[in-house]
Structures are given as structure tokens and as C-alpha cells.
Amino acid sequence: MSKIKIKVEIINEEERQILDTTGILSNEILKYLEENKTLVLWNYEKNILTRENDEWKMTYLFVPQKKTTGIIKMKDMQRNIKLEIETEKIERKDHDIKIYYLIEGKKYLYQIEEIKWVY
């Protein structure tokens, strides 16, 4: 288990969210906490993104050139919302990852960049 400094971005046509934080990397799973107390897990082996807080849990599976079903579980309503995810491509180098995907025809980019110190 090791701590790494990361920059996370989620970009679509309407907005760009940027987070600089520290993540914990263990067994090819990166964990980090967003500012709104949402726990995020990125599984590098299975390409699964999970985000969870007190209100909901979101699970997305990314498979290049395939359509998959993402699930958002609304905890207080005991209801699941299903979304079709179309993954265009995944680029990975070490712990850096870029995922280009569409949800309901809307383009997204999710990326994690490990911040390495240069002396």
C-alpha cells in the first residue's frame, strides 16, 4: 500500500471538475476521497470506477469499443438507475489513465494523473 499524489479530472461539454488530492494504491486499486466526502475507487485491472457517499453509489465498467451498463443506486429510495456507457478508448501509462466515454450521447473524459516530483 502506497500513497500517491494525484490530479483527477472529469470533463464534459458543460463543465470541468479538477481535484488535486492524495490517493492510496493497493493491489491495483486506487482509493481517494473527493471534497464532498465521496469515496472513489478505481480498479486498474478491471477498469471499474466506483463512487459512493451517504446518498448514492455509482458503479461504471469501462470496456473499450463496447457498451456496458452503469448503475447508480439511490440509497434512500432503494432504487437503481441504469445508464448506458459507451467506452471509446482507454489510455494507460503507469498510474495515469484516460477514459473517453459517452453516456446518453454526451462525451466525457475521466483522467487520473500521478503527480511526480521533479528535482
Q: What is the chain's length? A: 119
Asked if residue 118 has pLDDT above 80, the reply is no
Q: What predicted TM-score, i.e. pTM, was given to this entire model?
A: 0.92
Looking at residues 63-86, what average pLDDT do you find?
96
Average pLDDT of the residues in 12-20: 95
- What's the average model confidence in pLDDT over 69-98? 96
Dist. CA 85–CA 18, nearest whole Å = 22
Whether pLDDT at 119 is above 70: no
Question: Nearest to residue 89, comparing CAs of 60, 61, 64?
Answer: 64
Joined together, the cell numbers standing for residue 26 give 493497493
Nearest Cα neighbor of 19 from 118, 116, 111, 117 is 111
Give the Cα separation of 95 and 22 in Å (integer): 13
